[in-house]
Amino acid sequence: MSYATIMVILDPSRRSYHRIEIAAQLAVRHKATLVGMFACHRPEPAWVYRLPDGARYLDALQARYEEDVEVMRRSFEGATEALPITAQWRAFDGLPLAIGQREARLADLLVVGQADPADPMAFVAEGFVESIVLASGRPVLAIPRVGRFKTVGGRVLIAWDGGREAARAIHDALPFLRQAEAVTIVTCTVAGKAGDPWNTPAQYAATWLAAHGVTAAVCNLPVTDLADAGERLLSEAADLEADLIVAGAYGHNRFREVMLGGVTRTLLETMTIPVLFSH
């Protein structure tokens, strides 16, 4: 398995420039084509026309959109023109939630930014990142809204619970894991409580990875309640000096509401290092 095409999803916020840097580095490392996909908040025209002077307002929004597209296009092309990769630019002029349903299938890996409630320029759509993770069918590398990350994937923590999503995640992360300096499989268990016998032991994951040329250590973290597992994983990642967490994403869409598992939501909302999600 390899990442032949990496897509970085960009918005008008300043954090997009750091995502371009990270995605470009990954494209060079994996000898992949890099696709820059611009997406920003786009109100539905039918709703805008109901406003007083709605047509003029819609024209102003379109002009701003075209300006933002041009600024980001120049930044993307400037950051990639001297690199030994093929770079492609795309701007999605439609409802951005459709990216996860349609455009994402162009890529083997998606790079997105963590939602940032403090930055209106970063808002694309309600539940945008969650929809990309759950609907794209692709591994999604989420970059935190704060901090700069010189490396991604040098030291990897795998969040392992023995379920289908975790198994899918380590498969989707193989290109990272094969190049990593250190890989640690971490499980969280409640002291005194028996684990689910249907879940695959962490040692099985280590054995599977070894067959693919990846040496992984196994670590168990005792927790008082599984609801604390997300925060415990982030703490352990800091102790290991990890620069990437690999995690299965649990959740589903129901009546247009995104329902996420507890650990998945904790990682999405409070991540301190990049997280590779797979659903």
Give CA–CA dist 169/191, Å, rounded.
26
Tokens linked to 124: 């694309």
Residue of 84, 264, 45 whose CA lies nearest to 159:
264
In tens, the pLDDT along 220-250 reads 998 887 678 889 999 999 999 999 999 999 8
pLDDT in tens, 136-189: 999 999 999 999 999 999 999 999 999 999 999 999 999 999 999 999 999 988
Confidence class for position 253, pLDDT limits 50, 70, 90 = low
The whole model's pTM is what?
A: 0.91
What domains appear along the chain, each with residue ranges and CATH number? 5-143 (3.40.50.620), 155-278 (3.40.50.620)
The residues, any chain, with a CB within 8 Å of residue 36's CB and separated by 6 or more, are 7, 8, 10, 20, 23, 72, 73, 76, 80, 87, 88, 89, 90
CA 252 to CA 241: how far, in whole Å?
Answer: 32
R_g of the chain computed on alpha carbons = 20
Which position has the token pair 């129901």? 254
Q: What is the pLDDT of residue 51?
A: 63
Spatial distance between the Cα atoms of 178 and 173, rounded to a whole number of angstroms: 9
List the single range of 67-81, 117-131, 133-147, 190-204 with lowest mean pLDDT: 190-204
The mean pLDDT value for 26-37 works out to: 97
Report DSSP state, residue 114: P
In whole numbers, what is the pLDDT of the chain averaged over residues? 89
Q: Residue 257: what pLDDT? A: 42
Structure tokens at 79: 């950051």
Residues in the chain, how many?
279
Model pLDDT, residue 263: 86
pLDDT of residue 190: 79
What is the model's pLDDT at position 55? 67
User: How much is the pLDDT for 132?
Assistant: 93
pLDDT at residue 205 greater than cutoff 90: yes
pLDDT on residue 208: 98
Q: Are strands 87-91 and 33-38 parallel, antiparallel or unpaired?
A: parallel
Is residue 88's pLDDT more than 80? yes
In terms of Cβ atoms closer than 10 Å to its own Cβ (0-12, 13-18, 19+), residue 210 is exposed
